[in-house]
Amino acid sequence: MKKYFLIPALAVTIILICLQFIRPKVDNPPVTGDLQAPEQVKAILVRACYDCHSNQTNLRWYDKIQPVYWQVANHVREGRKGLNFSNWDKLAPADRKGKLWEAINQLEEGAMPIKSYTFVHSNAKVSKQDLAVLKNYLAGMVHDMPNDTSKIHALDKQLQAKAAQERQKLPESPNGITYLPDYKSWQVISTSDRFDNETMRVIYGNEIAVKAVKEHHINPWPNGTILAKSAWDKIEDTNGNVTTGAFKQVEFMIKDNEKYKSTKGWGFARFKTPKLTPYGKDAMFTTECINCHKPMHENDFVFTFPIKN
Amino acid sequence: MKRISTFIISAFAIFISCKQASNPDQLINQKASLPDHFKLSELHQKVITSFISKKDSTMSILYGNHEAYNALDSNVPSSLSGVSATLVTWRQQDDPHWFGARIPGDLLAVETIKAAGTGKNTVLNYQRYTGKQLVKLADTTGRAGRIKFIMSQQASILP
């Protein structure tokens, strides 16, 4: 019995030692423009997020032991790809804001920082007070803008262009999903008033989706489900009445476990402006959709709480 | 040895299966849902527009048939005959899934408009239902104002 153990144990030890010499590279490229935020806010993000979401990664000796180091390096690489506070200048102002709201939401849902990381780096944990500081900071960025002339103008422009619009061919998203014009006559499953980015949305479901809601069979949603979400600017008058302004985009999530296996069982597509321009340089644009929807993995990646009607 | 590994594997399997998907019943927005007797989805009306009142913290969706849509779509000359429209209003609540969004909370009211008669003789009938159970209201005060308000909405741009 003892001998049986000795040989494998020795082998494992030797492999582990050898592994220490095969090292991925984690370097810190230059910081082009760091996130600007109040000190208190910044300190929380630096402490909890900067190891994976900046070019100021500060790995401790215990992060560098193989095979853990591989995972750490991978986290840093993938983390920087989706969100890098050191290249903040590379983002348009609206995208900076969007990323911040996304970041705080990932935090609130417990999706970030990654659990295996906080397990070892307990100082990276974000307390309730810290979260409140971050949320207050974001809430402070929301301002009422009654009678916003640029928004009214954008709507007028779309209204005038409406009559002239005629489409021969339906647009196609880079991952091969064709625009589905029928969603306009589907039932509504919810609506959303987004004060983070001044838009309002209506979420539609096809017949399969509406039936699934009635029968409470929505986790997971059945194959054939299609959810659509259209978004508009918000136009506010001086009495606080908000109506839909310019059309921003429509997005689809099409459920098919087999066909869309590589993207969590959902086919994602987004078409922008009344021209319905497909979103994404290539099929990899879905990574962005999935990363933000990921905290909802226990709800089949769906945010919406559907309404029965 | 074998027994130990079986034990470890099954313990691991149990551990994984413990992390269960959320209960579908809790994912349905119950307080915003319409009562069974009000079969909105069977009217097959489509969304014309949606709007928000910040003062009242409410959000609404206006549905309508083809005639209603045409009447409220600014590019088409309007006629009222055949119009049927439904306005659903909810109290807003914070979205538990997204800091930065408000979604429908308690169902407050449903108002319906239906045209009767044709051509010049078309009249619009109005009805209001309130509360979670959508109780039909007999009181018709403010009726003209509500019809005017609903019929003055502009259809959202939906390409």
Answer whether residue A236 shows pLDDT above 90: yes
Burial (Cβ within 10 Å: 0-12, 13-18, ≥19) of residue A132:
exposed
Give the integer Cα–Cα distance in Å for A175 and A165.
Answer: 25
What's the pLDDT at B20? 56
Render pLDDT for B137-152 as a digit per residue (tens, 0 to 9): 888 788 999 999 999 9
**Rounded average pLDDT over A251-265:** 96
Least confident of A9-18, A138-147, A189-198, A272-281: A9-18
**For chain A, what's the residue count?**
309
The percent of residues in chain A predicted with pLDDT above 70, rounded, is: 97
Q: Which residues of B touch A141 (CB under 8 A)?
A: none
Chain A positions touching B27 (Cβ under 8 A) are 218-219, 299, 302, 305-306
Any CB–CB contact under 8 A between A197 and chain B? yes
Smallest Cα distance from B30 to chain A, Å:
7
Which residue, A93, A233, A230, is CA-closest to A149? A233
Residue A16 has pLDDT above 90, yes or no: no
User: What span, in angstroms and rounded, lies between the C-alpha atoms of A68 and A188?
Assistant: 47
Q: Give the residue ranges of DSSP H helices in chain A.
A: 2-19, 39-53, 68-82, 93-108, 115-120, 128-139, 149-162, 207-214, 286-293
- Name the residue with higher pLDDT: B73 or A187: A187
pTM for the complete prediction? Answer: 0.88
The predicted-structure confidence for A31-77, as pLDDT tens digits, reads as follows 999 999 999 999 999 999 999 999 999 888 888 887 788 888 889 99
pLDDT at residue B7, as a whole number: 43
> Are the Cβ atoms of B21 and A300 closer than 8 angstroms?
yes
pLDDT confidence bin for B74, thresholds 50/70/90: low
DSSP states of A96-131: HHHHHHHHHHHHHTT-SS-HHHHHH-GGG---HHHH
Please give the interface size between A and B, counted as residue pairs whose CB atoms are below 8 Å apart: 162
Whole-number mean pLDDT of chain A? 91
pLDDT at site B12: 44
Which among B46, B61, B98 has CB closest to A303?
B98
- Looking at the partner chain, which of B27, B40, B55 has a beta carbon nearest the beta carbon of A305? B27
At B87, is the secondary structure helix, strand, or coil? Answer: strand
Closest to A180 (Cα-Cα) out of A224, A219, A223 = A224
pLDDT attached to residue A163 = 67
CA proximity to A190, closest of A220, A229, A219: A229
Mutate to test the interface with B, among A167, A232, A244, A277 (most CBs of B within 10 A): A244
Interface test with A, best of B44, B48, B51 (most A CBs within 10 A): B51
Q: What is the pLDDT of residue A300?
A: 96
Taking 60 as the threshold, does the pLDDT of residue B13 lie above it? Answer: no
Q: What proportion of chain B, given as a percentage, has pLDDT over 70?
A: 84
CB contact under 8 A, A159 and B74: yes
Closest partner CB to A218 (pick from B24, B63, B74) = B24
Would you call B157 and A244 a contact, using CB atoms and an 8 Å cutoff? yes
Domains and CATH numbers, chain A: 2-141 (no CATH), 149-299 (3.50.70.20)
Tell me which residue in A192, A219, A234 faces B101 most closely, judged by beta carbons.
A192
Q: Yes or no: say if A206 and A188 are a contact pair by the CB < 8 Å rule.
A: no
Q: How far apart are CA A255 and CA A269, in angstroms?
A: 12
Reply yes or no on whether the pLDDT at B11 is more than 60.
Answer: no
CB atoms within 10 A of CB A261: 9
Q: Percentage of chain A surpassing pLDDT 90? A: 73
Inspect the interface and report whether the beta carbons of B24 and A216 lie closer than 8 Å.
Answer: yes
In tens, the pLDDT along A177-225 reads 999 999 999 999 999 999 999 999 999 999 999 999 999 999 999 999 9
C-beta atoms of A230 and B158 within 8 A: yes
Q: Please indicate whether, in this complex, the C-beta atoms of B102 and A299 are within 8 angstroms of each other.
A: no
Tokens of A172: 């196609």
Is 60 exceeded by the pLDDT of residue A141? yes
Least Cα distance to A288 among A265, A260, A261, A269 occurs for A269
Instruction: Say whether B61 and A202 touch across the interface (CB within 8 A).
Output: yes
Q: pLDDT at residue A166 above 60?
A: yes
Give the mean pLDDT of A155-161: 89
Which residue among A109, A159, A200 sits closest to B50, beta carbon to beta carbon?
A: A200
Nearest to A137 by CA among A104, A93, A90, A96: A104
pLDDT digits over B75-87, tens only? Answer: 566 778 899 999 9
The whole-number average pLDDT for the span A14-29 is: 77
B100–A204 CB contact, under 8 Å: no
A239 to chain B, closest Cα gap in Å: 7
Contact B46 A244 (CB under 8 A): no
How many angstroms separate the CA of residue A208 from the nearest CA in chain B? Answer: 13
Residue A155 sits at the vertex; the CA angle it makes with A151 and A157, to the nearest 5 degrees, is 115
pLDDT of residue B104 exceeding 90: yes
Mean pLDDT calculated for residue range A93-101? 93
pLDDT the model gives residue A231:
98
Tell me how far apart the alpha carbons of residues A42 and A54 are, in angstroms, rounded to a whole number.
12
The shortest CB-CB distance from B32 to any of A193, A303, A307 is to A307
Does residue A152 sit at the B interface (CB-CB below 8 Å)? no
